[in-house]
Amino acid sequence: MFAALIGAILLGYPVAFTLTGIAVIFAGLGWAFGVFDVSLLGALGQRVFGLLTNDVLIAIPLFVFMGVVLEKSRIAEDLLETMGRLFGSLRGGLGVSVILVGALLAASTGIVGATVVAMGLIALPTMLRNGYNPRLASGVVCTAGTLGQIIPPSTLLIILSDVMSNAYQQAQFRQGLFTIDTISVGQTFAAALLPGLMLVAIYVGYMLVKAWTSPEAAPALARPEAAPSRAVVLSALVPPSVLIIAVLGSILGGVATPSEAASVGAIGALLLAALRQDGSPRLIYAGGAALLALAVLSRLAPVRLQRADVGAIDWLLGLLAVALVVLALAAVGLALRRAWRAGILKPVMTSTMTVTAMIFATILTASVFSLVFRGLGGDAHVEEIIAAMPGGADGALLFVMALIFVLGFFLDFVEISVIILPLVAPALILLGHDPVWLSILIAINLQTSFLTPPFGFSLFYLRGAAPKEITTGQIYAGVLPFIGLQVLGMAVLWFWQPLATVLPEWLF
């Protein structure tokens, strides 16, 4: 059944239709041969309802909206230009600036395609004009864009959090435990933070070593531009930094749920985009201040006017909260109006709906496939194979990681997350692997799937944005050293597990 799925996908059929079609065909064959109970399909309605009402997955369209708004508002261009001027006088400085901008955009947008395209259009021509090796320049741009999958917030981490939480619960049920622990999105984000920064450090280190050992591959700017002033640097860094602190800080600090933090990010991105349009910024600043004041008021003095003992102070706080809401709504309305006039709002909504529909269609149809696969006893066979792997728990994990790595050459991260992981993750957790650490190890592996030819998405994004003199072969050759760096990052995390577990243990 799984081989038929891979074959149909490689033939070019849409993934969502392929998942459902293969599931229906094998369910019919199983029923005909008496090895599948069709009454199991009655659980589909409950599964779909559970997915559509999942509070965790609600954050996906909001984070996608936030990322697309920031991409359309040209914040990436300002960051690239400022960082390029800041580090351009150093040997390999342009490459370092691309990596650092990729990290900042990853933490503020989490959209791989937008980041790769923006850097391919802006940074790559500049690197080529200044004598950078085309393979090295292409590899740096592709790899920096993939940081959006491992540095929170990202859709990959949200999906992984939900999948691994379900797998963790299944493992506990099989152990006879009825006091169930779960994995939250906040824990996954906290666990991914240090490994993500580790990857950034590895990339920067490689870039500097490459520039030192091969000066002709990554030269300093022949005519370096004047270093940007402190005000220019702050104007480029502060907007995305404020958004990062607002979103990640509210999640990791336990102030907001991921869905609430995602809504904060969406509104914040909209206000930042409005500030970059023509018109007075006063109402936008006032609206942002009102939202901040509302957040503080809700924590320090929550208003409950339905109580029987409401006093004058409560009424005053209630009126203050209403005034702040009205001011914030006025600012958001103005931001929407400016975004519409600038031609930003329609493409933002179209991109958000397209990406969200693709993700949810894959998740929903994967639930059909997994239900039939389990009904045919496939999950039991998978567990037997994993348990029989030589080397015990480490051997089983090495086998699964190798499988995910190979599948990443052909499948998207969403497909691997919702099809493969529900089958293998419970068995790995039962073997004693920490589920939070396991989530991040798998996340880095899935991040690599954006770089592996022939179907790595970052490769396609850059191919569409790169100058004509860059060949597809140069792009493929350029990412190979960075795939090796990804494997190195996985090895470091494998042997140093606290890198992923110390922050969740401290914060949660």
Which one, of 146, 70, 110, lies nearest residue 348 by Cα? 70
What is the percentage of the chain residues whose pLDDT exceeds 90? 13
> Does residue 486 have a pLDDT over 90?
yes
- CB of 338 closer than 8 Å to CB of 277: yes
> Does residue 320 have a pLDDT over 70?
yes
Residues belonging to the chain: 508
What is the distance between the alpha carbons of residues 420 and 407, in angstroms, rounded to a whole number? 10
Model pTM score: 0.83
- CB of 160 closer than 8 Å to CB of 188: yes
Confidence of residue 195 (pLDDT cuts 50, 70, 90): very high
What is the distance between the alpha carbons of residues 152 and 149, in angstroms, rounded to a whole number? 7
pLDDT of 183 reads: 85
Most confident of 109-118, 413-422, 425-434, 455-464: 425-434
Region of poorest pLDDT, from 42-56, 203-217, 404-418: 42-56
Greatest pairwise CA separation for the chain in angstroms: 76
The predicted model gives 484-497 an average pLDDT of 93
pLDDT of 491 reads: 94
What is the distance between the alpha carbons of residues 52 and 357, in angstroms, rounded to a whole number? 12
Region of poorest pLDDT, from 95-109, 183-197, 431-445: 95-109
The predicted model gives 182-187 an average pLDDT of 86
Give the CA radius of gyration of the chain.
Answer: 24
Q: What's the DSSP call for residue 14? A: -
pLDDT of 436 reads: 92
pLDDT of 326 reads: 92
pLDDT tens, position by position, 242-291: 888 888 887 877 777 888 888 888 898 888 888 888 888 889 889 888 88
Confidence of residue 197 (pLDDT cuts 50, 70, 90): very high
b or e along 25-57 (b: 16 or more beta carbons within 10 Å of the residue's beta carbon)?
ebbeebeeeeebeeeebeeeeeeeeebeeeebb
> Does residue 487 have a pLDDT over 70?
yes
What is the distance between the alpha carbons of residues 314 and 305, in angstroms, rounded to a whole number? 7
pLDDT tens, position by position, 29-58: 888 888 888 888 887 888 778 777 777 778
Q: Count of CB atoms within 10 A of residue 83's CB?
A: 24
pLDDT tens, position by position, 64-87: 888 788 777 777 777 777 777 777
The predicted model gives 441-461 an average pLDDT of 84
What is the distance between the alpha carbons of residues 228 and 236, in angstroms, rounded to a whole number? 10
> Does residue 317 have a pLDDT over 90?
no
pLDDT of 114 reads: 67
Of residues 451 and 77, the one with the higher pLDDT is 451
> Does residue 482 have a pLDDT over 90?
yes
